Amino acid sequence: MLKVEDIHVYYGAIHAIKGISLEVPQGKIVTLIGANGAGKTTTLNTICGLTKPKSGKIFFEGKDITGVDTQNIVRLGLTQVPEGRRIFANMPVYENLELGAFLNKDKKQVAQDMERVYARFPRLLERKHQLAGSLSGGEQQMLAMGRALMSRPKLLLLDEPSMGLSPILVKEIFSIIKELNEQGTTILLVEQNAKMALSIADKGYVVETGRIVMAGDAQELLESPEVKKAYLGG
């Protein structure tokens, strides 16, 4: 579904991404793991058009989307849930969700999608008129994911969904990610919690200083001595 070929990204003179290539097959969960500053978020931002690569190609469903602007990438069915959630704190929950559907002019469809999001995240329904900034961290993450689902994504890019959450909420968010995948959404997941990410993923890539240093079946990476030593505290 997604193919990234040898992308190079620079921030001024800094060579942030040094020839990353990866593939996300349809219907799978693929995860990028690695330390802070390894280039995981930059990779996601480049895929969804927020950052332009200096060279390399990005294909989504066989179509070259390199350099296409973000709005048109969302139209194609590729949506990102950004790191830090980026919700609109001074707007109520339901307005945040409506913004996720800004490209959809079919009001009936938007209303149906809203019902689906509320069914998946009952807490958002309970708090639909509350200001988004008054929600807990876990609820804000659910809101960010719900808002992304309003755009009817075929591929969901999730950037550090567990960041700042309690262990119990981390489990909840990961089980939601797995459910979304089981219902047909393909997922590219960036996570510092390597153990959780690899436990639900089909395939994993290890990113270090802008390069992919290991790739393979998620279960194999979970059991790899190098990955255990570097990322799993063993």
How confident is residue 230, by pLDDT bands cut at 50, 70 and 90?
A: confident
User: Which residue shows structure tokens 């040898």?
Assistant: 6
Please give the full DSSP string across 124-168, using - where no structure is assigned.
HHHTTTSBGGGS-HHHHHHHHHHHHHTT--SEEEEE-TTTT--HH
Q: Which of 22-31, 54-63, 80-89, 200-209 has the lowest mean pLDDT?
A: 80-89
Q: What is residue 102's predicted lDDT score, i.e. its pLDDT? A: 86
Please give the full DSSP string across 46-87, using - where no structure is assigned.
HHTTSS--SEEEEEETTEE-TT--HHHHHHHTEEEE-TT---
User: Mean pLDDT over all residues of the chain?
Assistant: 93
Q: What's the whole-model pTM score? A: 0.91
Measured from the Cβ of residue 11, the count of other Cβ atoms closer than 10 Å reads: 10
How confident is residue 233, by pLDDT bands cut at 50, 70 and 90?
A: low
The number of domains in the chain is 1
Q: What is residue 6's predicted lDDT score, i.e. its pLDDT? A: 98
Q: Which stretch of DSSP H or E encloses residue 21?
A: strand 14-24
Q: What is residue 164's predicted lDDT score, i.e. its pLDDT? A: 85
- 34's torsion region: left (phi>0), alpha (psi -120 to 50) or beta? left
Residue 15, beta-bridge partner list:
10
- Whether 16 shows a pLDDT value over 90: the answer reads yes
User: Mind listing the pLDDT tens digit for each residue in 192-222?
Assistant: 889 999 999 999 999 999 999 999 999 999 9
Residue 142 is part of which domain span? 2-231
Query: From the CA atom positions of the chain, what is the Rg in Å?
Result: 17
User: Mind listing the pLDDT tens digit for each residue in 78-132?
Assistant: 999 888 778 999 999 999 999 999 888 889 999 999 999 999 899 999 999 999 9
Task: Check: CB of residue 102 under 8 Å from CB of residue 61.
Answer: no
| CATH code (residue 216) | 3.40.50.300
The rounded distance, in Å, linking the Cα atoms of 209 and 70 is: 25
